[in-house]
Each structure stands twice: as C-alpha cells, then as structure tokens.
Structure 1
Amino acid sequence: MFRRLQYRVNVHFQPIFLLLLISLLVIASMTRKDHYLVVTKYTPSGVIDWELNMSNAHRDSILKEWHAGFKKTQTYTSNAYQPQTVTGIEAVILHNRADYGFIVNYTLILLILIIRLGCQKAHPRKSVISQPIVLILGFVTILAALMDVVVNLGTSRMLHHFRLHKPLPDAWTIGLFAWTKYVLLFIIAVKLLYESFKLGKPRLWLEFTSVWLGGLRFYAWRFRIVLMVLVVFLMGIFSNQVQDLFFSINTSRVASFCFLLSTTLLSLLCWHLPKAIDNARNTSYRRFFMGPLDFSKVRPTARRPSEKVNTARLFGAAGFLIPAIGILQAMTTYHIGYKLSGIPPIIILVAVLAFYTVVLQYRWIDRIFKKDGQVVRARYWFAMGVLTLPLLIWGWGYDRQNHEPYFLAYLSLDLVFLSMMFLITVTLRTTSKAIAKWHAAPIIVFSGVLALLFFILCNSPSFLNNITRNNRFFTMPVVLCAFVSYLLLFSFLQFMGKKVGLSLITFMLVFAVYRSSSTTTVYHEAYIQKEKNYRKSLDSLDSYTEHWLNNRKQDIKDFTASHPGKPYPVFFINTYGGGLRSTVWTTMVISSLDSLLRAGGQKDSSLRDFQHYVFSYSGSSGGTVGLTLLCSARYQHEQQPKNDTAFYPSNSLAIYRNDYFTASMAALLGRDMLASSLGIAPWPDRARLMEMDWERHTAAHHINMRLTIGQVYRNKTYEIPLLFANTFDVDSGKKGIIAPVLMNKLDFPSTIMLEQEIKDPGDLRLSTAAFLSARFPYISPSARLDGRHHFMDGGTWDNSGAETSLEVLTVFERVRSKLMKEDSIFGRIQPQFFSLPNSILATEPIGKPGNLIELLVPPKGLLDSRIGYTKKADGWNYSYAQLKHYGFFQFRPTDDKLSRNTLSPVLPLGWQMSEYAMTKLRLNVSRDSSTIDHVLACFGMTRKKKN
C-alpha cells in the first residue's frame, strides 16, 4: 500500500505540489489579515515571538500591547457615538483559526516532498533515502504538525482567559510545544535541502526559474498590447471610484447585462488577437478579420505550441476574472460579507489563474471531456448547462433581490462561470467537430469593430446623452468598449507592422508626441462667454463689504433685540475638494441648515434662512461645484429665498442621479486623445463637455449654471453669498481666485484674480468657474487662459479653501472696524468660520510604520506637503478664531452604516456616486449632529432629539 502511494505521488507530483502551493498562498493570506496589529515592540516577528516566549512577564506585556493596539471603525447613531474596535487580540484569534488550514497544507507539502525524495535514485540500484527514513521523516512531520495544533489550542485558551480576566496558564505551556515544533521542522528542512543538494536540484531549480522568466519576458513583449490592457484594467479596480461604479452596475439589469457582454467581448479578443500577432507574416489581412487564425509553428506539420496557446487562453480567462475580483474588492471596501471575504481579492485572482495554468498544463479538461481522443458531447453540453443555469436564475429569477448589494457576489460568480465556460470551450475547440464548425474569428473581430464604432459614437454628446438619459450606470460598459477599441486598433497596427517590417505603433506615437508638442492650439482654453456691450461692473471687496453690512443693519438690530446677549452671526464657509462627494456634502449641509432655520423662523420672526447669514463661500475642487450650485439656486429665488428648496436633503439626490462622468471618460479615451495628438481643436474638450452636462442636467431642476459671474451678482440684493472659487496656476505656482468682486493684491498676495484678467465683454459662466476649480487630475485637462496660465484643480495646494476664507474675513473685519466708529451696532457681530471636509476621519492605528524606500521619500514628501498645507490653512482659522473669540465649526461625514443591513459605503473620489454613497451622506446630515446643534445655538435654536 505504501509503495502504491509512493508511485502515485511520484507520477502526479508536479500538479499535486502546485495545487498545494496555491492552497498555501490562499491560506497564508488569511493569516496576514490586520497583521500590523500583531507586530508590536514585544513581537517584532508577529505571532512567532508569542509562540517562542517562555516568560510570563513577557507574555503579559505582549497581551497588553495587543489589547492596546487597534484599528477603529467609527460609527455614529442618532443617540450616541459608538466606536467599533478591532484589537490585536481579535486579529490573533482570526489568525489562529486560519492557521489550522495552514498546518494541514504545509504538512501535506512536506509529506509529498519526503515521499518524492524517497522515489529518487542516486544510481540505478539505490534510492536517495530508504523507506524507513521516509517513514521516520513522515512521522516527524506529523509530530511537528500535532505540536503546532497544541500551540494553537494553547493560544486560544490563553486569549480566552485574558478576555475573561481569568488567571492565565504559564507561558511555557505554549512555548515548549512551539520550540519542539520549530526544531522538528528545522530538522526536516535541513534533511530535505541536504538531499536536494546531493541530487543537484538547486541548479535545476535555478535553470527552470531562468527559463520561466525568459519565457515570461518573451510573451509579455510579444503580446504586450493585450497585457497592457489587462494591467490597466487590473490597476483600475483598486480605485474607489471604480469600486463605486460596480455598485451602480448592480442596480440595473440592463447595465449588468451590458457589463457582462462587454467583458465577454474584451476577454474573447484577449484570447483571439495573440494568434494574429504571433503569426502575422503567414496571415493575410483577410484572415485577420475572417480567420481561421493560429499560432506560428516551426514546421507546418508540427503540433501547436502549447505555451503560446495556454498563454492566450489565460489572457482570455483573465479578462473575465479581473472584473470579478474588482467586484469582490468593492464588496470588501463596502464591508459586505461573502464566503471568501477573509482572503484578499488579489490573492484570489492569482490563485485562480494559477489553478487554470495547472489545468491547462496537465490537460485536465481533455481528460474530463474526451474519450479515445474524441469529445464526449453529452459531457460538454451538460457542463455548459450547469454553468449557464445559475447565470439565468441569478439574472432574472430573483426579482428585485438581485439589485441588493450582497447580490454583487453572484455577479462576480457569473464572471467566474463565464471564464470556466470559455476555458473549456477554447480547449476543446479544435478536437470537437460541433465546436469547430463555429467560425469564431469573424464574430469576435466584427463584434470588436462594432464596439469600436459604438465607442466612436459615444464621443458624440448627443448620442451619449440619449443613451444615458435615464440611467447613469453605463460608464463601465463604455470604458470596456474603449479598451476593446484600443486593443483591436493597436493589435491591427502591430499586425501590419510585423507584415511590413516596421513598428507602426512606434511611428504613430513619435508623430503624436512631436505634433502635440510642436503645436499651440486653443483646444483646452477655458470657455469665456462674450456678449456684445456686456460689462461686469464689479465692486471692490471693500465696497461690497460695506454695502453688505449696511444692508444688514436693521437685521442686526432685530436679531440682537430678540436674542439678548447673543451676537449676530456672520459665517465664512470653506469647503474641501473631493469630487462629487464634496459637491453632495456641501449642498446637503448648507440646505439642511437653511431648512432648519426656516422652520425656526416660524416661531422667531427675526430669523431668516441660513444663507442670509453667510458672507462668503470659499471652495476648492468639488466643493466649489457645490457652492456654485447653491449660488445659482439662490439666484433663481433671489426675491423669495424661502422657495429655494432644490438642495434639501430629501430633494437634492435627484440632481446627482444624472450621469456626469461617462461623457468625460469617453472623451478622455477618444476625441481628446485624437485632437491632442493631431494638434487640432475641432470640438469642445472633455472639460467643456462636463460643464455642458452640468448645465443641461441642473436646468431640469431650475438651476441655471449658464449664468455668468457678473450676472449673478449684478442686482446687489446681498442675498447671495460671495463666491470665491480657488484654482491653481501651474505656470507660476500661484493660487488663482475667481470672484465677483475686485480684490486688492495686498489682501490676497501671490494670487491671480481671474475675473480681473478677463476683459469686457467676456465673462466666465458659473459652470466654467466651478470647473476651473474642479480640474480633477487627468479626468479634466488643465485650463489655458490668455496663453499665459494653465489652471488645474484648486486642491493642488490648498484643498480646503480655508486660506481664502481667512483673507476675506481680514477685509471684512477692516471694513467693520471702520463702520463701528459710525454705528456701534456693528460691534455686535461675531464672525463664524464653518469648514466642510468631506472625507471620513479615520482613526490611525497604533503600530510600527513600515520602512520607507529612500527613492520614494522625495515624491511622498512633495505629495504629502499638499495635505499638510491644507491642514495648516484650516488650523490657522481655528487658531485665529480662538484668539479673536470668533466661532469655528467643522462638519465632516462619519462612517455610518445604512439601515436594514451592515452596508458601509465608501465615498468615492470622482464624478459619479452610487445611490448607497449618496444615501450615506444624506443620513450623515439628517442624523443628530453636535456640529449642527452648535451652529443652531448661534441663533438660539435647539432641535428635538429623535427617539
């Protein structure tokens, strides 16, 4: 029986060993979850130091430090702040449970290595190690595994007692067995290495590694177009914007179907096109489109090169698996549990691809589906039916349940099943008469051509607007069609280049770089609206402030008379950048305060809405967009501000349910790339397209973003807060400000005043002003102005807008001091800073930071300096408020979970958000907040607490 086991292990050693290595990788990743909580001053090597410890005092120090080290997930309810913590103790418990699988895995690996070594012959008549030695080493391996199990049981018992505050067992009850385990494993490892050196195995291993790396380099270069597309796709799934898009897809059956369809097409091209590229010199142009295609052979009669064939099949499978893993990454980010949630998604991707490699290398599909060299059709169709049935049931058989977030796991499984169907079909394709009759080449290539044409049409705003009119969930399918288009286009260019002996792609790229760098166009010029005989007629900031204060004089008297002892509050609001989440957060907070004060005004006639008490808005990036929307809505209801309810939390989500992202992405990957490469300006760029999208969608809600800055502030009713949109000039490194007033350079040093640089009859629209501040890097291009400036996102330097807010307050106080000499009523004003960050404040975990690579320190320092300056700018305002006895408020979202489940959406940094993320922000505003309560206290108001 033992010899039979030896024979089987020896014959099937490689696939068994590889499968065990894959399993070891997966289980080992589970033992690394929250590992930084386990690595402390007393356990620099993690759990190993815990196991080898024999001192009770050291044990107590380890446990105390594990208990103190934590990560915190902040959650807020309507009644109290409830932090949820995960300490090092919990992390060790999870690692300990996963370690049982790790023990089984390494034990099996050692056993098959020992058995394999017992089958090796030093010479024809003598084995390397005898059968008794094999049995002894096997026994020692199992004994070491049992010691490891005892260590885990002892650890569980120790931690359980510690958490219950019971007396702890002695440290040696773990350490003794751990030392025994490591000594036994060391003996086994030394013996295996010694015998391997005797057989010359290390040299063979190095040669194998060298050959493998050489093959990897060869195929990576030869099929570089396909590989680059897959790598870009893989990198994208770790962006929280892309993760949030996956949740948008799940809420629409049509979007899910389009996503699966476009993913399938991309995968098929990733499999099909390498054959055309590899055998280009023997393939006609007609066969590129119509087929049949195959890899090049040394001789026409030779067998197909298995390495190339398997590489192409793996490329195709990866096209399905990468978005499948992206969905799991999104679920992990959103804290949605699924069966494999303890394993990092990227490890799942590596493990599945490695498993597919083993399946292809050892021809397991042929063994399962073939008999006597022929495909058993019943087996094939049964497998296809089994894999297709869940796709149909999950897609159409769950009514609205398949719109729920947890159902994303099934969408991910759809892609895995599709990858399995693909792998089985392409493997059996050449040996099955039924499958061979399918002429796949023309279907795949012409489907790719249709995707290319569709993507070209998506670069037409009118066409794309019709598609996305009632649905904002088509971004991923459109981007996938862009990938398909470039994959097909560049593969064809590479195919032509190999036929004619020239690198056409290189020539094209060199020409594009030369042409774009040697031409100057107006393509990315900021849009300036010009009207005949138009004049902005801007007041100076000093003059505007004086008129604003005089306009509020009676209001101040009424307020102070109704609220004895309370100063009249004047707010200076600054909003952080952060894409659409900043826009949503800004409008929700301000409008919520509007609604609360209007409700309070029914009892107190001296109260107006909140924006009546706001002197200025200073925004950066997405925060500026939110402030611009508020100013536009305020303008629409200037005579009757009480009708301005467009951004009440219960209403405002309708504005953000439109698609503001797909047109920009399509233009970025399409029309902008072409125009920039050719140095021409035949159509509006993607920045202008985004402005037009916002103008069109907001107009449906009676918000006019086509208005110019001068028009909005022309009536001088002083009911619209002053808008200061911050941007950044790349050429000079200075801050730029767009404002409806004339500013003095002494008050705003080293600042470019854009409105003062634009001469009549030109002016900036509200949409243009907003997106001069919100030039999200790469999604939007830098904006040229007068050929002397290139403006990019306002968050490049100060992402808070706080510095500008302080500069405005300085002018306000100077003017107020002058007016106080004429009328003491102005002395009853108290300025209030109100800062609106939009990211969740995460508690930094206690633990040792990793070592930084020296080469990364300079760029990291440059990037982090922006964050430091943002914090410093807001910190200045806080310090100034403390010194001058002003008010200072800061209100940011928190990590609330949505009701009815444990879903905790991320707040993506981009221009599109899922319904879950927007709902999370709405709940953050509507819940009981101490910040909102403190702001209301400035007006003598209190809110009813919710039960």
Structure 2
Amino acid sequence: MKFVSKPANNLGHWLSLILKEVSNRAMSVIFVLLIFILLWFVPQINDLILVLNQSCNHWITTPVFFTTLVVFAFFISALGDYFSPPGLRQTNNGIFPDYPTKKMYYFRVPKDAMEVFIDAKIRGVYPQNATLQESSGQYIRRVFPKLLGSLLILVATFAVNHTFTEVYGKSIAGGNTIFYVFLVAFLLLLHQNIALWITEQLAKFPKLITYGPIVLASVCIVVIVILGFFNRGGTREDSVRLFYALLSLTMLFLILSLSYNTYVLWLKQKIGGRLIVLCIMFILLGYLALFFDPTLFEAYFTPISIIMICLIGIYTALNVVKIFGKLLDLQLLGITTIIAIALATYNAGKKDFDHYEASHTSEMKHQPSDRLSIKAYSEAWVADRLELIKQQKAGEKFPIILVSAEGGGSRAGLWSFLVQSYLFDHDPDYFEKYLFAMTGASGGGVGNNMFYVQANELLSNPNAKPLKFDNWSPKYSCENDTLGFKYRASRIYNNDYLSSSVASLLGRDLLKSITNICIDYEDRGRMLEQQWSSAFNEVFDRNDDPLNKAYLDMMPQKGVHDYIRPLLITNTTELKSGERMVISPVAIAEDKNNMAAFKDMLALYPHKDKMIRRSAAMSMNARFPYVSPAARITGLGQYGDAGYYNNIGGEVTVRLKNALVKALTLAIENDSTIADKYIIKHLVISNFEKHTALSYSSQLLAPLSLVASATFAHPKQNENSFSNLIDIESKRVKIPIEAPTGISKWVRSFTSDTETDSIEPVIPLGRYMSRAAVRALEYRLEDKAVVDCLNEVLEMRNPNP
C-alpha cells in the first residue's frame, strides 16, 4: 500500500516520537514488561511454558495458551484505535488521518487509519489512485501498537529458548541473538522512510504483493498445527517444536497486523475479527468464573494459561476504567490506582482484617505447656534406644538420622516424601528407631509433614494404607492416574496446586484486599491447604482428615509407644523481624544458647483455646512470595516462606544435633560402652543444584543478585559444615515411554525422535507437576547412585527388595 512520507526531521525527533507513543501506551508497555519478567525470571513461572506440552491433555492446554497470547496481543495492538478511532480528513493537499478525541467504537473490531482509508476507497469515497498522507507521528501511532502486540508473542517464544538454554545448556536456533535481531527490526520498522523503502522494493513484484502475505499466513497456520501433532509429552524435541510453533504464531500475528493485502483484510474482517471476539468473550467469562471458583480450570488448563487469562481480565478491567475516564473527561485510571493502593494498605493494617488469617482449630488434645523440653525429649529418645545401641555388633553402628529437606515447591515436597517413603518401605525402623528429627523449608517441609503423618499412622494402625501402591504397574495411562506410579506420594503431587493460587491472587483476593467486601471465602493460602488435605485424604483413604487437626495432635510423648516418636520441626519466617520462627512439638525456650535462639510460635500463640492446624503450619512453611499471601496471626505477626531464612532449615538441624549430642554425652557418662556404637548422620534431601558459568552483573542489578544468591548460599554452607553428610539430589532423568500420547504412527514417523523410547522431562520449580515430571522423580529414586546412598543412610545389610 503506497503512502506519502512526512518523515521526522532528525534522529532525535524520531526517538522523541517513539517515546511519546510509549508514554501514550504506557499500560500496554507495562503489561508486556510484566509478562517478560514472569516468563523469563520468576522461578515458579518461567519453566511452566516449557512444560506446557507435558500435560496428558496437551491438545487442549497448548491451543488455549496460544489463544490467550493472540487475544492479549490483539488487545494491545487494537485498543488504542478503540479509544480514539481514526477518521479521515480531506483537504486540497490530500487525505490525512484524523483522530477525534472523544469518539469511541462500541462492540466492533477497531480499524486503523489505513484500513479506514481502504474501506473508503472500496466504497468509492476516494479515487482508486488516492494515497493516505501521514506524518511520522501518525505513522508511529498506527504501527507501534501492532509491533508491541507482536512483541508480546515474541517474548513468550523466546521464553521457551531462555528456559531451554538453562535446562539443556544450549540454545535453539541461535537463541536470544535472534530475539535481539527482531527487536532491532521492530525498531527500524517504526521509521517511516525505512517502511517506505521496503514497500517500494516489494512493489516491484506485483504477484508477491498480491498473494505473498496470505500464502505466508497460511503456511504459518499449517506449521503451527503440524508441529502440535508431533508432541510426545515432554521430549527435548517437543520444546524445540514449541519454540518454532510460537515463532510461527509471531510471524502470523505480524502479517495479519501490518499487511493491508486484500486477502489478509478479508481474512481479518470475515473470520479473524469474529473469531477473536468470540475468544475474548470466553476468556473474560472464564476470568469472571474464576472469582467464584479459582479451581475451575485447573484440571483442563496449565497454570501458564490461567496466568494469561487473569492478566487479560485485569488488563480489560483497567481499560474499562479508562473508558469511563474518557467519558467523564477525567484521569480516572490514575485516580483509581492511587485509591486502590491506599485502600489495600489501609485494610491490611486493620485489626479486624482477617482474610489472610492463619487457620486454627479449637479441638485440641494437647496444650503447648504439655510439650517436653528439647532436653527432656532428646534424653527420652536416647533412653528408648539405648538397648538397641548396646546390641550393635563389632564393626556396626546404630544410625541416628537428622533430615534436612530443601525447598523448591512441589518438586521438593515430592522428592522429600519419596526419599523417606523408600527408606520406610525398605526398613520401617527408619522412622520408629533411627530418625531423630526432621526439618526443612518450603516444599521440602511440606513433604516432611505429609510423610510424618502417614508414617506415624502406619506404626499405630494395621489397616493404614501403605506408602506404595499395591497394584503398581509400569503401564502408562492418561485415563488412570494411578498407573505408572509406585508411591502414593506421587499421586498427591500429580496435581496442579498453582493455578488456583494464581487465579485468586489476580482475582478475588486482589478485590478483597482493596474493597474488603463482606463476602467470606477462603484466601489462596487456605485453599492450598484444603487441596493438600483433600488429596492426602483421598490417596491414603483417611477419614480423620489429619492435616486439618491441631499441630500438637501428634506430639512426641514419653511411654506412649515403645520408642518415642521422631521430632518434626516446621519452620517459617517472621515478616517484621526476618527471624526464624519454629512450629515445634517440643518446647525450646529453656535451651539457652542453642534452640532458644529461635522463636517458639506455639509458646507465643495468642489464642490459648485454639491451635494452628498442621496444614496451616505446612502452608506458612511454604508461602512463596505473592503466589501465597503472608499468613497473619492477629496479635502475633505475619509469616512467610521458611526459605527466606534458610532453604533447608540447616540452622535448626545444627542446633537439634547439639541437643542430641548433649543427651548422648550424658548417656555415655553412665555407660561408656556405647561411645563407639552409634553414628550421627545428616540426610540432606536437596533439589538439583544449578551450576552456572562465571558471569558478572551490572551495578544496577548487583544488589538484587547478591540478595538472591546469598539466600541460596546459606543451605550450602550448612551442608558443608555437616559431618557424615548424605546428600540425595533430585535430578532430571530419562523415563521410558510405554505408550504413545495419542499420536498415530504415520504422523510420528515424520519426527526426528521416532526411534527414541524414552524422554527426559523438565521438572518445574513450582506447584505444578505433570505426570511425566512425577514419574521422572520416581525413576530418579531407582538410580544406582541414589539407592547406594539411601542404603548407606540406614547402614542396611539386608534391605528389603
């Protein structure tokens, strides 16, 4: 399409025009930057895009994600023309775009100035040889939002490459260099003279102008569809194909946005426009539905799609406010934003604002004052096992085990649960006799609690469900979610515990924080607790709902069992002071210069007739920032993820060992023969340690990098100080593919990995784990090096098969 150029006077003027348009589209620019940060840098989200196709129903989840990307990109590219739809102004000097200031479209797909001009020519308003004359500012105003929408999809595309590079150590097709090439190309396209030159060069090939755009758009659609058929459930090649599918989607959107080809315009107006409006309606209705039930779509969509749906909903809501502001001739969006922030701050400080209150129960078996001191507990633990220590034969030592479980979302929780399930299954004495104490942070602490509850039940109830499935089969089936899993823990963690939290965060919790509406509903932290509890009850067939009982219901007591039960310490971090707070079944205040260094939550709990639930303690241990709210205990404080302080609870382990050593020293004073008959072992259940090449940060990012690195360095320092350390790491492993993922043989014959009978799935660092990721951790548990370490934990001479 030919147009007349009125270029910017110089480079400075051109850049100032671009910055002016950035300012005009500030909200859209902010949302694109937000998605860039989420998909590239947020640990719980940035790898979700790479595991998009691991889902059993990937044929739903992947198209849904692509649809949300296109809808969001459309909003960004077209809403400006909705608020100020272009008209045309004809003078003796030609035809010019005209942007009225108070007119808006209602219930129709907006058109830019060029599309309005072309329609006018088709209707015969202007001669066929007429041209639209634009200034540089008008040209940038027309093109910038289209490029910004395309950039949104491009950001998602190269997020796949960014995470792929971190996981596999190599990039796809040149990696981020191509991303930067696109950015430069987009910038150059904003220069009117460059666009004019490109148009003039293409005009030399009439057939290319006539058929090229629609053919290229059709090719992009075909490529996207075909690449989708090749998915096998999480292979490395699947990630590469996902990248190219998203790159094709970027090109498709770019063509449909920037091309004014007759066929492309027909496709947009007759099919694309109607289809996009239909998708918008469903997405916005879906966002509203999530206000009533944040768990509504978690069985069908992956968290990355839920995030996009919620962001589209918020973006739409903000634009609705902007519409009213335009009608009232007020800066209503800015005013509303300031008021919302002020109200949220005010409500959070109110004494009666209990929306994020930690859940507790009034049904209590024990009071905090009933607890043993850490000294009394340690001495009782040693006394109960003294005869076993004495019975050790020459060359053998009684293992005394302290467990520290590293944080890391569901991955860490499942890994901790699996490791200890293996130990218990091979030797129940692990829990009853050898385990002294367990502690951890974040997901690792959650796994500790779930294991502790069921292990305790297995020692007391002969009818309790075992930790492994009786009818285990290696056969893979998406229809039966127990097949392919050896351990019941895997079934618990083969769930999406992230989508509902995100939907609440970006939906009704956000509304509640601002408006403090009177409707009473569970916040996202409590919802997560209920999801854990429901999954646990279902898998272990528990009718007593143990996770929702008081934390001290399983308090270690003298004389109740043959051997006093192990100690489980659950950690959290106090928001105001940044100090470690422990939720402990033993009292620690009297242990001066040792465990008393930490605050004892149950001793300080302000409600004497109530007690925190175990599920709430687990939640406070794993309140990842923003995804979960900081838990509030009125009269005591606010609490967040234990990983803020130390991501394995290592400081607690060190001090628990000190208490144990004192008790053993006292026992040795009474009977020196036991001095060489035991060994204290530190079992660290850790997540895969990411090794990165030497790099340097700018002075702008250095402070943030230092804080993040220091947080994760503390656990490693603790590990380095442990003696007799056994570190069991979760790592990505290959798993066999027992059955195709619904793809016919003739389609799979075109893929490069047809002969491969295994995949090495990505295991995301978050609260969402696909079946492939869960099974990979089970296979990791069978690795010979891991098995040797696990047998070493118990000094097993004859472990059960």
TM-score after normalising by structure 2? 0.78
Inter-partner Cα distance in structure 1 for 2:769 and 2:407: 15
Structure 2 residue 596 is matched with structure 1 residue 749: yes
2:550 corresponding residue in structure 1 = 708
1:924 corresponding residue in structure 2 = 780
CA RMSD for the aligned pairs? Answer: 4.0
Partner SS, residue 568 of structure 2: strand
Inter-partner Cα distance in structure 2 for 1:466 and 1:227: 30
* 8 A contact 1:546–1:816 mirrored in 2: yes
Inter-partner Cα distance in structure 2 for 1:480 and 1:739: 40
Shift of 1:356: 6.6
* 8 A contact 1:289–1:446 mirrored in 2: no
Structure 2 residue 490 is matched with structure 1 residue 653: yes
2:466 corresponding residue in structure 1 = 644
1:686 corresponding residue in structure 2 = 524
Report which stretch shifted further, 608-617 or 707-716. Answer: 707-716
Partner SS, residue 680 of structure 2: strand
1:830 corresponding residue in structure 2 = 678
Shift of 1:365: 7.4
* 8 A contact 1:776–1:792 mirrored in 2: yes
Query: Which residue among 625, 630, 639 is the counterpart of 2:446?
Result: 625
Structure 2 residue 506 is matched with structure 1 residue 669: yes
1:234 corresponding residue in structure 2 = 36
Query: Which residue among 287, 311, 335 is the counterpart of 2:105?
Result: 287
Q: Quick one: higher RCO (CA 8 Å, sep 6+), 1 or 2?
A: 2
* 8 A contact 1:569–1:613 mirrored in 2: yes
Shift of 1:857: 5.2
Instruction: Return closer, same or farther for 1:363/1:708 CA change in 2, 3 Å cut-off.
Output: farther
Inter-partner Cα distance in structure 2 for 1:873 and 1:431: 67
1:455 corresponding residue in structure 2 = 287
Instruction: Return closer, same or farther for 1:492/1:933 CA change in 2, 3 Å cut-off.
Output: closer
Query: Which residue among 130, 142, 167 is the counterpart of 1:309?
Result: 142
2:376 corresponding residue in structure 1 = 543
* 8 A contact 2:572–2:639 mirrored in 1: yes
Alignment of 1:128-143 (within 5 A): none
Instruction: Return closer, same or farther for 1:504/1:441 CA change in 2, 3 Å cut-off.
Output: farther
Shift of 1:943: 7.8
* 8 A contact 1:637–1:644 mirrored in 2: yes
Instruction: Return closer, same or farther for 1:802/1:851 CA change in 2, 3 Å cut-off.
Output: closer
Structure 2 residue 696 is matched with structure 1 residue 696: no
1:267 corresponding residue in structure 2 = 73
Alignment of 1:439-454 (within 5 A): 444=276, 447-454=279-286
Partner SS, residue 483 of structure 1: helix
Alignment of 1:18-29 (within 5 A): none
Shift of 1:254: 1.0
Inter-partner Cα distance in structure 1 for 2:191 and 2:245: 22
Q: Which runs of 5+ in 2 are unaligned?
A: 1-6, 87-98, 121-125, 127-131, 473-484, 737-755
Query: Which residue among 584, 609, 627 is the counterpart of 1:779?
Result: 627
- The letter of the residue matching 1:683 is Y
Shift of 1:259: 1.1
Inter-partner Cα distance in structure 2 for 1:640 and 1:828: 35
1:489 corresponding residue in structure 2 = 317
Structure 2 residue 222 is matched with structure 1 residue 389: yes
The number of residues matched between the two structures is: 711
Query: Which residue among 519, 522, 544 is the counterpart of 2:354?
Result: 522
Instruction: Return closer, same or farther for 1:557/1:800 CA change in 2, 3 Å cut-off.
Output: same
* 8 A contact 1:667–1:686 mirrored in 2: yes
Partner SS, residue 289 of structure 1: coil
* 8 A contact 1:574–1:802 mirrored in 2: yes
* 8 A contact 1:366–1:428 mirrored in 2: no
Inter-partner Cα distance in structure 2 for 1:486 and 1:694: 28
Q: After superposition, give the CA deviation of every residue in 1:288-324 in whole Å (9 maximum; x if it has no partner).
A: 4335454699999964632222112212322332222
Alignment of 1:746-825 (within 5 A): 746=592, 747-758=594-605, 759-820=607-668
- The letter of the residue matching 2:18 is L
Instruction: Return closer, same or farther for 1:379/1:515 CA change in 2, 3 Å cut-off.
Output: closer
Alignment of 1:340-419 (within 5 A): 340-341=173-174, 344=177, 346-347=179-180, 349-350=182-183, 353=186, 361-362=195-196, 376=210, 381-396=214-229, 398=230, 401=232, 404-419=235-250
Shift of 1:358: 8.3
Query: Which residue among 240, 247, 253 is the counterpart of 2:50?
Result: 247
Q: After superposition, give the CA deviation of every residue in 1:604-632 in whole Å (9 maximum; x if it has no partner).
A: xxxx3456310110111111111011112
Instruction: Return closer, same or farther for 1:636/1:819 CA change in 2, 3 Å cut-off.
Output: same
Report which stretch shifted further, 898-907 or 512-521. Answer: 898-907
Query: Which residue among 407, 414, 418 is the counterpart of 1:584?
Result: 414
- The letter of the residue matching 2:381 is W
Inter-partner Cα distance in structure 1 for 2:701 and 2:158: 28
Instruction: Return closer, same or farther for 1:933/1:872 CA change in 2, 3 Å cut-off.
Output: closer
* 8 A contact 1:310–1:361 mirrored in 2: no
Shift of 1:662: 0.4
Instruction: Return closer, same or farther for 1:254/1:372 CA change in 2, 3 Å cut-off.
Output: closer
Inter-partner Cα distance in structure 2 for 1:362 and 1:392: 34
Query: Which residue among 569, 578, 603 is the counterpart of 2:399?
Result: 569
Partner SS, residue 452 of structure 2: helix
- The letter of the residue matching 1:644 is P
Inter-partner Cα distance in structure 2 for 1:861 and 1:410: 36
1:37 corresponding residue in structure 2 = none
Shift of 1:350: 2.7
Instruction: Return closer, same or farther for 1:795/1:421 CA change in 2, 3 Å cut-off.
Output: closer
Structure 2 residue 792 is matched with structure 1 residue 936: yes
Query: Which structure has more helix as a fraction of its residues?
Result: 1
- The letter of the residue matching 1:248 is V
Inter-partner Cα distance in structure 1 for 2:777 and 2:522: 33
Q: After superposition, give the CA deviation of every residue in 1:146-188 in whole Å (9 maximum; x if it has no partner).
A: xxxxxxxxxxxxxxxxxxxxxxxxxxxxxxxxxxxxxxxxxxx
* 8 A contact 1:365–1:424 mirrored in 2: no
Partner SS, residue 777 of structure 1: coil
- The letter of the residue matching 2:30 is M
Instruction: Return closer, same or farther for 1:213/1:502 CA change in 2, 3 Å cut-off.
Output: same
Inter-partner Cα distance in structure 2 for 1:225 and 1:258: 24
* 8 A contact 2:8–2:14 mirrored in 1: no
- The letter of the residue matching 1:909 is L
Partner SS, residue 787 of structure 1: coil
Shift of 1:634: 1.2
Inter-partner Cα distance in structure 2 for 1:335 and 1:341: 14
- The letter of the residue matching 2:20 is F
Structure 2 residue 367 is matched with structure 1 residue 511: no
* 8 A contact 2:579–2:645 mirrored in 1: no
Q: After superposition, give the CA deviation of every residue in 1:438-490 in whole Å (9 maximum; x if it has no partner).
A: 397676456434422311212333xx435334x5x521111111121122222
Inter-partner Cα distance in structure 2 for 1:695 and 1:322: 37
Alignment of 1:66-81 (within 5 A): none
Inter-partner Cα distance in structure 2 for 1:460 and 1:336: 42
- The letter of the residue matching 2:589 is N
Instruction: Return closer, same or farther for 1:211/1:784 CA change in 2, 3 Å cut-off.
Output: same
TM-score after normalising by structure 1? 0.67
- The letter of the residue matching 1:414 is A
Partner SS, residue 682 of structure 2: strand
Q: Quick check: which has more Rg, 1 or 2? A: 1
Q: Which runs of 5+ in 1 are unaligned?
A: 1-204, 599-607, 882-886
Identity of aligned pairs, percent?
Answer: 19
Instruction: Return closer, same or farther for 1:328/1:349 CA change in 2, 3 Å cut-off.
Output: farther
